[in-house]
Structure 1
Amino acid sequence: MAAENIDEVVDELAGIVREAGRTGDRAGYFAALYRQVTVEVRTAIHGGLFDDGARMDRFDTLFGNRYFDAYDAWHRDRSGPRCWRESFGLLDDADTVIVQHLLLGVNAHINLDLAIAAARTSPGEAIHALRRDFLLINEILARVVLVVQDSVGALSPLMSLLDQVGARTDERILDFSVRQSREEAWYNAVLLAGQNEGEREATIERLDIRTAVLARLLARPGGLARPALQLIRSTESADVPAVITHLDNAMQRPSARQGTG
């Protein structure tokens, strides 16, 4: 059943996190991150931080339902968008590290779903009035992502190796991914908002293919990243329910609150 408002999005995500923790399903990693983002967006709506709170409730609900549709399709018959199939297809791969699971979810949800949700919320010329709120929701996303990445550091002591082998010593992995992706998502939102139905379908198909290619690169990087990932995996927690619980509580820790206030 589709969520009808942001409260139902939060509740549905919480249910996925609980079930994943019970069964040891790594889908709970990204769901835990996403639940906290949605809670923060809801808090911002209630606090009057958006230009149009009701519009952002609709936006976030459409955004959330994109994820739920992909999640349900995968569990039903392994169908759904290509990029989400790439992400969900690695859930049983014990060699995939925690941050890869988070990046794969971020990749699919921002590079495909975010632009679609924005264009459906504000079609046509109305998309331009959404820009400030769109940027604010992405600031919230980036802030939560950084807190969760700090939380991952407690579970994966050698994760900083990925930055080093990627020659990004001054940028954290998830933050880099989010900042790059959200800029392009706005461009694609404006593009989709101005297209007719046939054009939108073609654009969404193109975005899905491109995002699936990115997912494969994230899942199976070359060069020095491959041995680095193997070393990271050997040192990080293999207790899936414990990892989910740790990630899901990231924003409740005092240090997180001080850093995001």
Structure 2
Amino acid sequence: MRADNIDDVVDGLAGIVAEARRAGDRVGYFAALYRQVTVEVRKAIHAGRFEDGPRMDRFDTHFGNRYFEAYDAWRRDGSGPRCWRETFGLLDDADTVIVQHLLLGVNAHINLDLAVAAARTSPGADIQALRNDFLLINDILASVVLAVQDSVDALSPFMSLLDKVGGRTDEQILDFSIRQSREEAWYNAVLLAGQTEEQQTTTIDRLDIRAAVLARLIAHPGGLVRPALELIRRTEKDDVSAVITHLDGAMGGASAG
């Protein structure tokens, strides 16, 4: 699967979501979230919110192709970046809850793929001109996170209870985590943009290792998080296809067909 523009990215993600829904495949959880983020980015491009819309189209295309490459490699022979292998490797694990699947995808795509996509879009000194548009995506991500959090609450009654007790603390943590990760991704994008191809290979490998370690922590947390996840697992909806449909409609628009 290869995208040439942002429309191809949206269509490719919609295809993955639709097939996952038919097959009851949990890969559709993150794909549904990612599709909605991409749709919102496309809307922002069309509305002229970015300083350079065509550049953001190219950026989002590079970003999407990173995901498609990892997805295709996993489907082909279980290969691909370490962090994506950790993520896809848990798709058949019924004990991994919905929010963990979402966080695993977010971790791999932001902590590895985002910096690579930015550096490919604006190599060398051109990377600095990308910063404002790069940061604007934080606002788009925040709006999607809010909608998806509401969707997860409907699917996971215990998550909803935690929200009421904690004042949506989990959503605030997720939003902060995404913003923090994107700040680190920007630093790494600037680093990659100024490196030789050989240096980039070393840096990307380092980012992959770090994201893989984070994936293991998300998948197997310690402390009080473990019993909380067990309660979430016991109470949340276990119909994978229905969960995908619900997540894919979180923004209130048309879901993938």
What TM-score do the two structures reach when normalised by structure 2?
A: 0.94
Matched residue, 1:258: none
Matched residue, 1:74: 74
Cα 1:173–1:150 shift into 2, 3 Å: farther
1:178 aligns with 2:162: no
Cα 1:161–1:112 shift into 2, 3 Å: farther
Shift of 1:142: 2.4
How far apart, in 2, do the equivalents of 1:160 and 1:199 lie? 45
1:88-142 per-residue CA deviation (whole Å, 9 max, x = no partner) reads 0000000000000000000000000000000000000000000000001232122
Shift of 1:45: 0.5
Answer yes or no: is the 8 Å Cα contact 2:146–2:171 preserved in 1. no
Range with bigger deviation, 228-237 or 133-142? 133-142
1:154-193 to 2 correspondence within 5 Å? Answer: 154-159=154-159, 169=169, 172-193=172-193
How far apart, in 1, do the equivalents of 2:136 and 2:98 lie? 27
Shift of 1:150: 1.5
Amino acid at match of 1:76: R
Answer yes or no: is the 8 Å Cα contact 1:115–1:186 preserved in 2. yes
How far apart, in 1, do the equivalents of 2:169 and 2:51 lie? 36
Shift of 1:238: 0.1
1:17-41 per-residue CA deviation (whole Å, 9 max, x = no partner) reads 0000000000000000000000000
The number of aligned residues is 252
How far apart, in 2, do the equivalents of 1:114 and 1:161 lie? 33
Matched residue, 1:244: 244
How far apart, in 2, do the equivalents of 1:142 and 1:198 lie? 35
1:134 aligns with 2:118: no
1:229 aligns with 2:225: no
1:84 aligns with 2:79: no
Matched residue, 2:23: 23
1:150-180 per-residue CA deviation (whole Å, 9 max, x = no partner) reads 110000111267789x9x9475343232122
Matched residue, 2:99: 99
How far apart, in 1, do the equivalents of 2:209 and 2:93 lie? 22
Match of 1:252, SS? Answer: coil
Matched residue, 1:3: 3
How far apart, in 1, do the equivalents of 2:185 and 2:161 lie? 28
Matched residue, 1:113: 113
Percent identity for Structure 1 against Structure 2: 80
Match of 1:172, SS? Answer: helix
What TM-score do the two structures reach when normalised by structure 1?
A: 0.92
How far apart, in 2, do the equivalents of 1:162 and 1:108 lie? 26
Runs of 4 or more off by more than 3 Å in structure 1?
Answer: 160-164, 168-173
How far apart, in 2, do the equivalents of 1:161 and 1:210 lie? 32
Cα 1:13–1:169 shift into 2, 3 Å: closer
Contiguous gaps of at least 5 residues in structure 2: none
Cα 1:209–1:161 shift into 2, 3 Å: farther
How far apart, in 2, do the equivalents of 1:20 and 1:138 lie? 27
Matched residue, 1:205: 205
